[in-house]
Structure 1
Amino acid sequence: MADNREVLVRPARPDDNAALLDLLRRTPQMGSVTLTFEREPDFFSGALVACEAPQVLVAEHGERPGHLLGMVDIGQRQQYINGQPCRVGYLHDLRIAAEGRGGRVLGALFRAIATAMQTPGSWMEAVILEDNLIPLGIVGRGRAGLPNFYPNGRITTSLLPGRQSRRHADSGLQIRAASAADADAQAMQQLWQQAASRQGFPVYEVEALLAGSPYYLGLRIEDYWLACLDGQVVGVVGVWKQKAFKQTRVARYSPWLAALRRPYNLYSRLFGGLHLPAVGDTFDYLHLHGLSVRNDDPLVFQALLEHVLAHQVQPRQSLVCGFFDDDPLAQVVSRYRRQTLHSRHFLLSYDHDPRPAQAHGHRHVEIARL
């Protein structure tokens, strides 16, 4: 590319679907396992799961319309901030094709983002994997045209194999599937509203779930599990299978890992562990979703987790959940066999640091929507 004028940024259109899916396949995350994060067969269905109001921007070559050099989504979703519902922007799915690297495409995308964030006091959030060294390096150095990235905590994502258990004292809790009767009784809704004290907890509506909102794609009321004590619902968690619209595919293993994959999978099958699929195949996992327990009681969460691992996670599947490292519920997950990934959470703004205005306390992350 000769100059910036050859990079055009515009909102994505429905007829960009094939090009967006191709761009995701062309921009793997490198490492000992090279992965592509895909959204087959419809990119926009996955975008509506990440954000209630997606805002996907694409960068294309001015002389080759439809050939995408990059993309980013800066959509918005409702979260509780300081106990009140708030529309929060989420910067994600940033992808730059190999032929678009060198700064021009990234600069063009962020100039469009700056235009979208012209409202004084506006801010958004982003999550970057610690293994994703290139964007972390860009954030760390700072760059003209980019917003300020304010570090806001570390997230540990856990992948837990099923069929494992931890002994614990009898809590008297009963675990059962939710039903339409629970929706009528407002039990789930009340627990979700009680979670408003957690910064960043999503604003969830049982009525929208029952109505088939695309924000809850593939979920039914029966996919939620309730913890009950003396007839009262004291905890809820959903189990969300997203493989029909969101995939993590293995593009390549490093030579040493490729050689060890089969014996590792045998060990995992015998003793429990993450199953490594063949090159070209996808990981099979379920997401914990919409977790809320009364008073952040770890015993309630453990009872729900025990039930899901024992009854919902099939052989070769994993259960994915994530917590900020200072979350007391994270200690429950740490007692189980698991593989972990670490990410950094940032708040972004062009004109101020948003962190002081947000009350201290436990922050929630919904891994299923990252």
Structure 2
Amino acid sequence: MAGPVSVALTCEPSFFTARAIEGHRHETVVAEDADGRVIALGNRSVRSVYLNGRMAQVGYLGHLRVETDWRRRTSLLRQGFAMISRARRSDEVPYDLTSIVADNLIARRLLGANLKGLPSYQARETYVTLLLPVPSRGRPWTDGALEIRPGAPGALLDIAACLQRNHRRFQFAPVWTERALRSSRETPNLHPDDFLVARREGRVVGCLAQWDQRPFKQVVVHGYDGLVGRWRPVINALAPALHAPVLPRPGQTLASEFLSHVAVDHDDPEVLEALIRAAQASGRRRRVRNQIMGFSARHPLLEPVQRRFGHRAFVSDLYSVHWPEHDRVDQFDPDDRPSHMDVALL
């Protein structure tokens, strides 16, 4: 991703391990030139999500990469999209989802042009990814009626129930079951005690997970534009006072984890603040520098998080992707609920 800070998402040691968290069914298309060099890549993963309050199978298009010299050859894209379209099954929603970073003008112009032979991209919603620095010190949460504790194997059923009743209120939120939360394939390197659980009078009222994906997926800083690059030492010196993220040196992997599996009854900002402050305290012990979470721009919890925590925001646009041969949209058209896609799964 280009911009003031240029980063790359890498999947080491295995692309297929990283891909497994994105869904239960996958189609990956790879294009090679005459010398066998990979020049393009795209992936479609299908997972269970909530659509209008009911479970549905929806595809997500991601990992689209095209070598610079081939980006103007739309025939390459047409062939790749045609292969992905043919793999669609009858039990799936007839459109897919994808997101494009707001400053990726090349992708937005090309894919949004609705060129002949390519699927049409329909803008759905703005998505905001937040990079929250873990402060060196933090104030404890003082609401005595609210208890925040790490999860445990015996708590996963209650956690899954909290996720289900809250995710059902949003569009395209992932469906989680107790079995999936225990699965080392669907949630690798995520353990019961990585969850934080909020309780009032013994009842679970919110949860989130601290998911360290660095063993299989990394965010690597490639570089900075001229101004940010020149002023990076000054920015980093001021970062603690400004509650802003430290900018690592180029080539370095961000010491980060995702705050995933976010669910809060009644969208109570006090509960989410307590969970995030507990996650920051835990992050300090885990020597994490940054924590990443994301919300739809219309999600009621986005504004309280932005107001209460220092952060750096990255804006993307969520699209639905339509093929004419599959477009029976009416019964699958989402109502006006905001979306709640988990950035850890994108």
- Provide the TM-score with structure 2 as the length reference: 0.90
How far 1:209 sits from its partner (Å)? 2.6
Determine if contact 1:249/1:282 at 8 Å carries over to the other structure: yes
Partner in structure 2 of residue 283 of structure 1: 254
What SS class does the counterpart of residue 321 from structure 2 fall into? strand
Residue among 334, 339, 342 paired with 1:358? 334
How far 1:271 sits from its partner (Å)? 4.2
Partner in structure 1 of residue 195 of structure 2: 224
The separation in 1 between residues aligned to 2:276 and 2:302, in whole angstroms, is: 12
What SS class does the counterpart of residue 303 from structure 1 fall into? helix
Partner in structure 1 of residue 153 of structure 2: 180
Which letter does structure 1 place at the counterpart of 2:62? Answer: H
| Unmatched tracts of structure 1, length 5 or more | 1-28
Determine if contact 1:274/1:316 at 8 Å carries over to the other structure: no
Residue among 312, 315, 333 paired with 1:339? 312
The separation in 1 between residues aligned to 2:306 and 2:5, in whole angstroms, is: 24
Determine if contact 1:241/1:285 at 8 Å carries over to the other structure: yes
Q: Does 1:50 align with 2:22?
A: yes
Give the direction of change, closer, same or farther, for the CA distance of 1:121–1:257 in structure 2 (3 Å limit).
closer
What SS class does the counterpart of residue 272 from structure 2 fall into? helix
Partner in structure 2 of residue 94 of structure 1: 64
Partner in structure 2 of residue 22 of structure 1: none
The separation in 2 between residues aligned to 1:171 and 1:363, in whole angstroms, is: 32
Determine if contact 2:159/2:207 at 8 Å carries over to the other structure: yes
Which residues in structure 2 correspond to 1:146-225 (within 5 Å)?
A: 146-163=118-135, 170=143, 172-183=145-156, 186-195=157-166, 196-212=168-184, 214-225=185-196
How far 1:182 sits from its partner (Å)? 1.3
Which is further off, 284-293 or 302-311?
A: 302-311
Give the direction of change, closer, same or farther, for the CA distance of 1:357–1:101 in structure 2 (3 Å limit).
closer
What SS class does the counterpart of residue 244 from structure 1 fall into? coil
Residue among 107, 121, 134 paired with 2:78? 107
Which letter does structure 2 place at the counterpart of 1:259? Answer: R
Determine if contact 2:41/2:65 at 8 Å carries over to the other structure: yes
1:16-57 Cα shifts (integer Å, max 9, x gaps) = xxxxxxxxxxxxx33333222111111111111222222111
Partner in structure 1 of residue 44 of structure 2: 74
Q: Does 1:131 align with 2:107?
A: no
How far 1:299 sits from its partner (Å)? 1.9
How far 1:75 sits from its partner (Å)? 1.4
The separation in 2 between residues aligned to 1:190 and 1:118, in whole angstroms, is: 29
How far 1:316 sits from its partner (Å)? 6.5
How far 1:107 sits from its partner (Å)? 2.5
| Unmatched tracts of structure 2, length 5 or more | none
Determine if contact 1:69/1:105 at 8 Å carries over to the other structure: no
Give the direction of change, closer, same or farther, for the CA distance of 1:354–1:288 in structure 2 (3 Å limit).
farther
How far 1:138 sits from its partner (Å)? 1.4
Determine if contact 1:127/1:345 at 8 Å carries over to the other structure: yes
Which letter does structure 2 place at the counterpart of 1:275? Answer: V
How far 1:168 sits from its partner (Å)? 8.3
1:58-99 Cα shifts (integer Å, max 9, x gaps) = 1112x333x211010011111111222211100111000123
How far 1:100 sits from its partner (Å)? 2.2
- Provide the TM-score with structure 1 as the length reference: 0.85
Give the direction of change, closer, same or farther, for the CA distance of 1:110–1:210 in structure 2 (3 Å limit).
closer
Percent of residue pairs identical: 26
The separation in 2 between residues aligned to 1:363 and 1:126, in whole angstroms, is: 13
Instruction: Supply the RMSD in Å over aligned alpha carbons.
Output: 2.3
What SS class does the counterpart of residue 21 from structure 2 fall into? helix
The separation in 2 between residues aligned to 1:32 and 1:334, in whole angstroms, is: 20
